[in-house]
Structure 1
Amino acid sequence: MRHPGNESLRSGGSQRGEQLIKEGRRRFLSEFQKYIRELECLLETCSTGDEGSRVKLRTIAHTMKGSAPVFGLNRIGEISARLLDLWEEDSASLTDKTKVRTLLQPSRQLLSELHMEYEIYRKELELEGADSRRSQGVLATQSRLLIIDDDPVLRSYLLRSLQYDGYEVMEASDVESGKRLLRQHHFDLIILDLMMYPQSGYELFDFLKEDPTFKWLPLIVLSGRGDLQDKVQCFFLGADDYVTKPFQYEELAARIYSLLHRNKGFEQMAFRDPLTGVFNRRYMDQQLQRELQRIERYPTPITMAFIDIDRFKSINDTFGHSAGDVVLQGLANVLQNRMRVTDLIARFGGEEFVVVMPNTTAEEGERVLGEALQVVRETAVARDEVREYRITFSAGVAQWREGLTAEQWIRLADTAMYNSKANGRNRITRIYQDEKQLPLKEEQRKLKKLLVADDDEIIRSFIVNTLNHLPIEIIQAVDGRDALDKLRTEEVDLCILDGMMPRMDGLTLLHELRRDKSLAGHQAKVIMLTARKKEEDMQQGLLLGAEEYMAKPFSIVELEIRVKRLLDITDQA
């Protein structure tokens, strides 16, 4: 697969990185008080000479030292390092209770400093929350709402009130009118009256569940009934909130803002490609499974297109990666304008896109995609201060047929796209319904597998969220023994190992990995992560066969570059 280069990572990935760091900081601070309370208890038991307490104290201090700076909490990292140095400076002498007692007072002083740092960072988060509340007006101007209610007085009141707050609002007086608007426009939230005539609001729930486009669309139910059973049923059917009439508008407005703010942030973090704005690979994989489940119940045609920009590498090489970025954005914009709202558009990786078209045959999909290709041929997809950028793309179209898994279906469309490349590019190749699957070059199609082993759940999640947009499969291990168990059965291409883990540290795990040839993943490459910057540790890790050694705190951009290099994920012609 082909992917943007390092300069693009530094520019396009900065926004994604900032979002990940903010979320990681919140999660770390939510756990931080538990760490401090546990350290306070451990200091008391350490004074009795308990070796297990000292080991646990060092482990927690080591975790905080390595993890806190990753999320910009540098002072916490520095204080934790000083605490760790106190209890590591002479392990032999710590068997002397008198020596241990001399460490208690400076340790308590350091814990007091950690308390103060926590309060400072907590207040900063509160201020960020206040900034978010002030940004409600911006969020409103970016959001379109749909009101479905058969009461014209209430509908008009809500319409004018929400428009006054800055929202774009559309209205429908019954369920069928609401469905038509949902098919024709994109909405960010629905406000639905439950008790309507001739169709109740319940009729809309099935419609929303059937279409993957609306799966994550927030829904607020309005009802004149405060019946508990109604509320429970609505929540089980997929409602996000339930408001009983009569209600205060200010409360409803606050609930709307809260849902929109949460959903937009969640969508951007979890489901959207930060550069192009289309869906990412993770969301596409989830939706494909849902589509195949839907087709099993209600058989209808569905077609996939696999798209690759022709000679994309030459654009990056000639004009720079910023030019490549605007070209990717331009093609994404063309696809969004040409496809229906019910079609799923996702960035598969690099300059590759996938379009999934429900209720569409291969012939229809080829025609629609041909119209998009004609637009791209005739007009520039992007321009900057210097030049216009004109491109073509190659595509493969494959209709799903019974028995195909999602992975096989993707490979079928991908193979058709490579046939377009082989036949001169700038064209679309369709695989017919009764055509056998074409042979694949397995080494080109098989996803590389990455194992992330770290006992710090926050750091582990941070690494996974950083790398999950790459065309790789990621598995996780919660400690060294868990990682070894997975390596016995999984053919892993690359491991990211934390140096300090319970049940088996990273160096011991690396030794086992290189020694035991019976392990399925014994040939995996290794990146060691550690907060210990001792020269002998680094030398030992490299001698045992680690390809890379990174000290915490680490740069997410640098980590991604190293992962891509070791897995040979690079731009291709």
Structure 2
Amino acid sequence: MKRRTVPAFQSRRRSMNNYKQELIRSVRKKLETWLYQESIRQNELVQFLHSISQTAAVIGLDRACDMAQSLMSQMNENDEKEWTKESIQELLNPLISIFYYEEYPELNEVIEQKEGLYDKKLILLIDDDSSFIMFLKDVLGEIGWVVMAAADSDRALHSYYDLRPDCVMIATHIQDNNGLDVLVALKEGMRQQFVPTIIITRDPSKETRVKSYRLGADDYIPVPCEMDEFIVRVNRQLERKQAIDDVMLLDELTRVYNRKYLQPSFERMVSQFKRRKVVFSMALIDLDCFKQVNEKHGHMAGDHVLVNFARMVKNTLRQSDIIIRYGSDEFLLLLPGAQAKDAKQVLDRIRLSFSQEKFADVRPDQTFQCTFSAGVHEIQEDELDLKRNIEIVGQALYEAKQEGRNMVKIVPVNNIIYHQKHIHVGIVDDDPIIRTMLTDIIRKSKLTDDIILDIQTFKDGMEFFESNWYGESAEPYLIILDGMMPRMDGIEVLQKLRELSFQERFTIMMLTSRKSDQDISRALLLGADDYMTKPFKPLELETRIGHLIKRMK
């Protein structure tokens, strides 16, 4: 029998891949060493980058070579500067990201544009079948939906209230409860809010189907079923929710929220204020002399002014800010995380832009301009009644009108020091590249803009517990655990955390390279709040962490 030979080009490609992996191991080893030093001399850093650029050029890692040279150009080898481990991480993160994707070449290119990051539909799946959970997360994730799983009924109910999902899927048989009992509990808590619920079952009987509908299920899907049909039926429920939300909560003309949305939004911000001391401000806006606009230029022109004003405000505000059409020409804003002076700056910026906007008159070639006045009030701890706060901010608006219009007035209040929300983030992973990337993703995320972060990294579970860092504060902790680590496995860390008397402080995400259904199922049953498999996409990771942060008390 002839000996099978390997074509020369395949042999060369394998050799190059081996060289790439060796370089990545070298980078990982150096990074591991540096992250445990207090400082690193600049000449060491320059030599390291020089070595990478030369090796990367030879073995075909052109992006890594270019990045290393770019970083070197920012420094002088003879400079005696000392770099801290934090500054090293920040400097090297672009290079580390390149090596991460070289190690996992099957990943798609990282998405830089983040449009839609906050608008993805969130589906809560209540099921303890890890195979089905993994399958749905993958399939629905490709569509752009985010699936968060809960494996037991108690955690499912908490997740519903914390996550505020767009749709809930419930398996009829869960380890500790009947899925229909969970459905009843959810329906009792939904009140006037519409969130579609879908029963997923392997029981095709008419009795179960009828009972599901009688208890309030919006759809009933026997599995297995064709996936294209499954997706269409879920999407139909999401579209129903969107349509109902639009009708019930949005003003028909301006497409901003109507007054029905004010009370629950204000109560939610008051709750955050009480629990986390997250300051927020209220603003009341009134278009100046708007009655004259309608009389002089016509109601169609007046409607055009309202629509353009609402659009301008929405485009200026942050995602978390809320604009409500409060009256015919009045708008009320709720601005979480903003003190009165910050809110005034934003409104003054909008006011100047709006006053320069030209609107078409009914007469040909004629235009007119509009202005607005506003009052701003920073909500105080001793007055949390909605009606009273509207009266207070209304007084400031009245003063702005009396003093000549086209201005923003602040309600004078005592100077009170508020504390921003604190979250402690623990990253427990034996790979320094992963630790560095996760730190950078979380620190730079828009989702953590108004949060004070304490990020700590640990190379294994034993180091994490020996530090006692996890027990030093009563504030919330987000713990990101690698599934496989030396000395103490991620599952062991999860189990020990959930056995603590103060375990409710911890929101836990598992990162795993394992494909074993049993490992993921066990993690969810032990109390993991979410999981991701490596290699992960930073945008997806950031989105999922954002949903977890929302639920943290």
Tell whether the structures are fold-level matches, with TM greater than 0.5.
no
Tell which has more relative contact order, 1 or 2 (C-alpha 8 A, sep 6+).
Answer: 1
Between Structure 1 and Structure 2, the one with more helix by share is: 1
